Amino acid sequence: MEEGRGRERAGGTAAGFVPPVDVFDGPQGWTVQVAVPGAKRADVGVSWDAERSALRVSGAVKRAGGDRLVGSMAMGEREVGGFTREIRLPPRGGAGEVDGGGIGFAVEDGLLSVTVPRKAGR
């Protein structure tokens, strides 16, 4: 599990990979950005585990072009497949600060951006 803001990474799924994540801590809450090149909004899911104070991001990154193009691949460096990341929020303690019902996300230009608001009055 990822703890704090260091470069420690949580494990991905057995057949998948671990996409890189950035976490930004602002006055209204957190923004979590996950690199998911080629993924669409329908390819990813976001959930909040209040008991563990953890944001779970999962989904799949695919190669464009289908089987015909992939079958002719001469070199492949991009990581593709299923993934799961779990990020503890807030990173430095303070459990109970997160408004789990207000979490939203969007995917644009290969970046999954998750907004995680703080509870009012915090």
- CA 11 to each of CA 43, 64, 84: distance values in angstroms, whole numbers, following the listed order: 19, 25, 8
Tell me how far apart the alpha carbons of residues 38 and 62 are, in angstroms, rounded to a whole number. Answer: 6
Alpha helices for 17-80 (secondary structure H): 66-71
Q: Is 31 left (phi over 0), alpha (psi -120 to 50) or beta?
A: beta
Q: When comparing pLDDT for 13 and 104, which is higher?
A: 104
pLDDT at 92: 66
pLDDT at 5: 29
pLDDT band at 104 (very low <50, low <70, confident <90, very high): very high
- Domains by residue range for the chain, with CATH: 21-117 (2.60.40.790)
Q: When comparing pLDDT for 5 and 56, which is higher?
A: 56
Averaged confidence pLDDT in the chain? 82
pLDDT at 68: 77
Q: Are 19 and 61 in contact (CB under 8 A)?
A: yes
Neighbours of 97 (CB within 10 A): 16
Q: Is the pTM of this model over 0.85?
A: no
In DSSP terms, which residues pair with 114 in a beta bridge? 32, 105
